[in-house]
Structures are given as C-alpha cells and as structure tokens.
Structure 1
Amino acid sequence: MGGGAIIFFLLLSLIYGILWIYCLIDILRSDFKDSNMKLIWIVVILFAQVVGPIAYLIMGNSTKATFKS
C-alpha cells in the first residue's frame, strides 16, 4: 500500500469514528416515543457497525419524542 492509501483509510476511519460517537451521544441525550427505542438504537449502533450509524441518521428522528411548547 502506498502512503496515499494509508492516509485515505486513516481519514475514513476518523470520520467514521466521529460519526459513531455523534450518533451514540445523540441517542443517549434524546427522548424517544417508546422507552425501549433507546436501547434498541444502542444495540443497532454497536452491532451493525457500518450500517447502524447511517440507519440511525436516516430513521432515528422518526422514533424520537416531540415536545410542543
């Protein structure tokens, strides 16, 4: 592997790590419509490594509780 490929994979890993941490923190700080959804999303994030954070970003907002002021 050349130096460019190593830098590319390190950068990709860093971006994925930041995305994973962002999703995990967002799950922990959010309230959900169903009390079990928080645990379900954490399990999805942990065990579906590549698809989990992307699925949460796409479908997570629909499972969150909305508060009207």
Structure 2
Amino acid sequence: MFSILGLIFGLLSFVIGILATIFWIWMLIDCLKNEPSVGNDKIIWALVIIFLNGIGALIYYLVRRPERIKQTGQ
C-alpha cells in the first residue's frame, strides 16, 4: 500500500519538476527573444529568471510579460 503511494508521489513530483523546468526555459527564451533591448531591462529580467529559478520565471510571467505584450504587441 505505502509503496504504491510512494511511487505515485514520486512520479507526480517528477512530472511537476519537468513541467517547471520547461516553464523556466520558456520564460528565459521569451525574455531573451522578445524583451526590448532598451536600457538594461532585458539583462535584469534574464538575471531575475536565472537566479530566482521558478519564482523568477513566475514573476516575469505575471508581471512583465503582460506589460510587454501590451506595449509592443509581442
């Protein structure tokens, strides 16, 4: 019984980890590709995503990305 629950928990953790990594890479590529190169914004956001990992990617996705899309349409 407990080994099945452990297996399910392990598999679920693995899948969530893979999805989080894919999201992190997606946000980093989005930042580097679409962020305007005016000033240091692109570098700062890339560093936030890199050093804060999942939290940085989530902050970029929720805060900066909608603002950039509104401003530039990308």
Instruction: Tell me the TM-score normalised to structure 1 length.
Output: 0.80
1:15-30 pair list within 5 angstroms: 15-30=19-34
Q: Give the deviation of 1:33 after TM superposition.
A: 6.9
Describe the SS at the equivalent of 2:56.
helix
Which whole-Å CA distance do the structure 2 matches of 1:9 and 1:27 have between them?
27
1:1-69 pair list within 5 angstroms: 2-32=6-36, 34-61=38-65, 62-63=67-68, 66=72
Would you tell me which structure has more helix in proportion to its own residues? Answer: 2
Structure of greater relative contact order (alpha carbons < 8 Å, 6+ residues apart): 1
Q: Give the alignment's Cα RMSD to 1 decimal.
A: 2.1
* Structure 2: stretches of 5+ with no match in the other structure: none
Q: Give the deviation of 1:31 after TM superposition.
A: 3.3
Q: Give the deviation of 1:19 after TM superposition.
A: 0.2
Between structure 1 and structure 2, the one with the greater Rg is: 2
Bigger mean CA deviation after superposition, 9-18 or 55-64: 55-64
Instruction: Tell me the TM-score normalised to structure 2 length.
Output: 0.76
Contact persistence 1:32–1:38 (CA under 8 A)? yes
Q: State percent identity of aligned pairs.
A: 27
